[in-house]
Amino acid sequence: MSGHFISFEGTEGCGKSTQLGLLAERLRSLGREVRELREPGGTVLGEELRQILKRRSGSGGMTPEAELLLMNAARAQLVREVIRPALARGEILLCDRFYHSSLAYQGWGRQLDLKWVRTVIDFAVGETRPELALLFVIPPEVSVARRQERERRQGLEPDRFEVEDDGFFRRVAEGFRAIAAEEPSRFRIIDAGGTVEQVRAVVWEAALAVIQTRGPGGSG
Ligand code: TMP
């Protein structure tokens, strides 16, 4: 029996995490076994690496190369410890970011050679790839405003990524669009500028297409 694997991608403040939670809730209400994951994270080791990757003090001098490797160390652990066993049990996995984020952030954002980024990703994930990657797209100014609003509301300090300049986030957004264009059969681009309800309806329709057409036990 094989389950389903859907990743949620996009820049900061695009609303993907909210939509992931809503989709999980709806699928569970229909009796499906759903697991919510996030990257970097999702395992004990991965959550520790997440702290190191996100904190500003002590990790400030991290090189882009070290960042790429740590992201993919967390990913390699998640794939083997959680994703593969859960797929084998027939669960539906919803992952807040996956390897496309390394292409967009470390490749396009940090401007590492994409050939190396792909090589590291291939080693980390092997054949374990999402059937569907949802890319949530919003204008850059909306991303900045939502991020600032969240920080204000939650009293959070911006993390090591959130303090990057506009140029970095422009490259990441451009990267995501280019990556999606390279893999059109895997990606669904979602205009995330609408209301939560509007976006939720589009996400539901996209997820259902994967889950129904390939059904549990299918080729997915
Ligand atoms: P978030 O889960 O709060 O979005 O934070 C994760 C941060 O890590 C976000 O800024 C994107 C970044 N990231 C990468 O740079 N590369 C990756 O491969 C992943 C998964 C995340």
pLDDT in the model for residue 148? 80
Beta bridge mates, 92: 4, 34
Q: Tokens for 11, please give them.
A: 């820049």
**Could you give phi then psi for residue 218, rounded to 5 degrees?**
-80, -165
Specify the range with the lowest mean pLDDT, choosing from 7-11, 34-38, 49-53, 147-151.
147-151
pLDDT at 38: 98
Q: Has residue 50 got a pLDDT over 80?
A: yes
Strand order in the sheet with 4-10: 34-38, 92-96, 4-10, 132-137, 187-191
The answer, yes or no, to whether residue 35 has pLDDT greater than 70, is yes
Residue 215: pLDDT above 70?
Answer: no
State the pLDDT at residue 151: 78
Which residues are near ligand 1 (CB < 6 Å)?
A: 38-40, 71, 96-97, 101-102, 105-106, 161
Kindly provide the residue ranges of all beta strands, DSSP E only, lying in 15-171, ordered along the sequence.
34-38, 92-96, 132-137
Does this model's pTM top 0.85? My answer is: yes
- For the segment 192-217, the average pLDDT, to the nearest whole number, is 88
How much of the chain, in percent, has pLDDT values that exceed 70? 95
Q: Which of 43, 94, 97, 104 is nearest to 68 (CA)?
A: 104
In this prediction, residues 102-110 reach a mean pLDDT of: 98
Q: Which protein residue's CA is at the shortest distance from atom 4 of ligand 1?
A: 12
Whether 217 shows a pLDDT value over 50: the answer reads: no
Residue 220 has pLDDT above 90, yes or no: no
Question: Could you give the 3-state DSSP secondary structure of residue 189?
Answer: strand
Work out the pLDDT band at 142, boundaries 50, 70, 90.
confident
pLDDT at 219: 38
Ligand 1 test: best mutation among 72, 105, 108, 171, most atoms within 8 Å of CB?
A: 105
Pair of tokens at residue 83? 């994703």
Degrees, nearest 5: CA angle 209-213-214:
115
CA 38 to chain centre: 7
CA–CA separation, 216 vs 220, rounded Å?
8
Measured CA distances, 196 to 16, 17, 22, 27, 122 (Å): 10, 11, 10, 17, 34
Cα 95 to ligand 1 centre (Å): 12
Q: Residue 23: is its pLDDT beyond 90?
A: yes
What's the chain's average pLDDT? 93
Of 75-89, 150-164, 168-182, least confident by mean pLDDT is 150-164
Whether the ω angle into residue 40 lies within 30 degrees of 0, i.e. cis, is yes
